[in-house]
Structure 1
Amino acid sequence: MGERDELVRELRLLSELDSTQTAVFQQAAAAQYGLGVTDMKALGIVLREGPRSAGELMSDLHLTSGAVTGVIGRLVTAGVARRESDPADGRKVIVTVDVAGLAARENVYLPIGDAFDELYAEYTVEQLRFLAAHLVRSTEITREQTAALHRGLGS
């Protein structure tokens, strides 16, 4: 086996280890808020993309309507999100971030963000560009493969 093959093998293993460690971290972080990982992912989507309808969250997270109703309820109960009626269609629920509720909680993501900032400080601009491009494509591949799995499950 050549060096390239060995490196690809190592990258596959490291990606799996990184994915597992990220999932374990996300679980621990969510528990600090009294929430589950899916709840925190929904909150992250609303933080990044702005107010989302329940239907959009269903699609984003590949959840059933009942599951997304539970997620929204837990976020509202935790005081980190609000459930509002869509002004254009009162039958639709819009989820928004409760900024004051979120700000009142400790941000358990700050230490890991700081640690990654320290790591990224070691890289050149070119290396950072490569890492960013890799993560963009990696995210696209994962999204595509997730969709394929869901299609295979008939969801």
Structure 2
Amino acid sequence: MPVERQVTEDDALQLVLAVHRLNRTLRLSTTDLPPTQLIVLSLLAEHGPMRIGELAARVPCSQPTATTVVAVLEAAGLARREPDPADGRAVLIILTDEGQERITSVARREAELLDRRMAELEPDEREIVLAATPLLRRLAGR
């Protein structure tokens, strides 16, 4: 029976650094959107309309920063504000069709770049990376 290997703090650190480096490489090569704008668009695409305060908490950033980011996204036609039907004093930030297209386009370009990078791996290495995908999704979902 194989001995269970304990994950060390350094193991976790190396994985975090590798994931960050891969993510940064993909983002820098596939979009001109600043990271906070991309995060806001991604959050709206994944979770639907949100108030500024909720966006700020999820990014995370200050509420004034979230307000500025949303204003830039509005000016670019990627998001819009609508009254919150649950509270007439508040507004919801909504992803526009153009915003959805933009975030989908970024994701596709990232996937294409990752596909090219993975093609450089040996077949058994590709299988290891692909087999890890469900586990990484589980870790990300917590």
Alignment match, 2:134: 132
Aligned-pair CA distance for 1:22: 1.4
| Shift in CA distance, 138/59, structure 1 to aligned 2, threshold 3 Å | same
1:75 CA drift (Å): 1.1
- After TM superposition, the score normalised by the length of structure 2 is 0.68
Gaps of 5+ in 2: none
Letter in 2 for 1:19: H
| 1:103 match: secondary structure | helix
Instruction: Tell me the distance in 2 between the aligned counterparts of 1:101 and 1:139.
Output: 24
1:58-77 alignment runs, 5 A limit? 58-77=56-75
Report Cα offsets for 1:99-135 as digits up to 9, x if no partner: 145437992331322455685x9538xx63x532244
**Residue in structure 2 matching 1:108, options 106, 124, 128:** 106
Q: Aligned partner of 1:42: which letter?
A: V
Residue 74 of structure 1, CA deviation: 1.2
Task: Output the TM-score relative to the length of structure 1.
Answer: 0.64
Q: Which residue of 2 aligns with 1:13?
A: 14
Q: 2: distance between equivalents of 1:115 and 1:25?
A: 7
Matched residue SS, 1:107: helix
- The 3 A distance-change label for structure 1 pair 53 and 137 is same
The reply to whether residue 25 of structure 1 matches residue 31 of structure 2 is: no
Q: CA deviation at 1:14?
A: 4.9
Percent of aligned pairs sharing the same letter:
22
Residue of structure 1 equivalent to 2:127? 123
Bigger relative contact order (CA 8 A; separation at least 6): 2
With over 3 angstroms needed to count, the CA separation of the structure-2 counterparts of 1:12 and 1:139, relative to structure 1, is farther
Amino acid at match of 1:60: R
> How has the CA–CA distance of structure 1 residues 115 and 65 changed in structure 2, closer, same or farther, with 3 Å as cutoff?
closer
State the shift of 1:77 in Å.
1.1
Tell me which amino acid in the other structure corresponds to 2:138. Answer: V
